[in-house]
Chain A
Amino acid sequence: AQKITQTQPGMFVQEKEAVTLDCTYDTSDPSYGLFWYKQPSSGEMIFLIYQGSYDQQNATEGRYSLNFQKARKSANLVISASQLGDSAMYFCAMRGINDYKLSFGAGTTVTVRA
């Protein structure tokens, strides 16, 4: 079974600053994928970024980057140059090689201040 832990229930960040959202995971699968999703107040779940457990480089997608530390079982999301539209709930998720489903963390609410 997979377990995802997001220890930061809420964070404030100043516009144009960077913010790091913590995510640690636990799995016995030899191969797995790590994902981050954004959920704005409107409710939809938006896929942001993916990191494979065997990927040698950290994933990046525009202003999003994933700081993957396999030995520490962490997959932190970094949002650079925060914008007001980044205010949302962010979920870390994972899927093992033998999994059908995504397992989600509890989420972190990010509020960007002008």
Chain B
Amino acid sequence: DSGVTQTPKHLITATGQRVTLRCSPRSGDLSVYWYQQSLDQGLQFLIQYYNGEERAKGNILERFSAQQFPDLHSELNLSSLELGDSALYFCASSPQSRDSTYEQYFGPGTRLTVT
């Protein structure tokens, strides 16, 4: 158990809908990262928050947004869903924002299926 929690574990929804994925980082970790894993794109970084502030953006679509709350949990919002958004979405956490010596601990993931 990495200490990172994600809910829900599975999500099935229809095209055009909006969903919210939730993540709680490990105790003491200030950074939260969101990654998307799909068969064709592999593991792609989406966005990072550190102590409530956005720090880095990766290949995140404009239909997607995220935030980190004062209690450090984070939510990833996906809207106007398309079939291609079906993927495994991971949240990861680490103590620092930008330190190459720190590993990131991953949550169990949310498997999103868009039908």
Contact = CB atoms under 8 A, between A and B. Distances in A.
Interface in B65-115: 88, 90, 92, 97-98, 100-109, 111
Interface of B: 2, 33, 35, 42-43, 45, 48, 55-56, 58, 88, 90, 92, 97-98, 100-109, 111
Given A101-B56, A104-B43, A44 B48 contact: no
A86 B32 CA distance: 28
A53 B100 CA distance: 9
Interface string A32-72: 11010100000111110010110000000000000000000
Contacts of A47: 2, 103-106
B58 A107 contact: no
A12 B92 CA distance: 30
A101 B42 CA distance: 15
9 contacts: A37-B106, A43-B88, A43-B111, A44-B2, A44-B106, A44-B109, A100-B48, A100-B98, A102-B104
Given A32-B100, A50-B101, A97-B100, A102 B45 contact: yes
Contacts of A50: 101, 103
B106 A45 contact: yes
A64 B32 CA distance: 27
Contacts of A104: 42-43
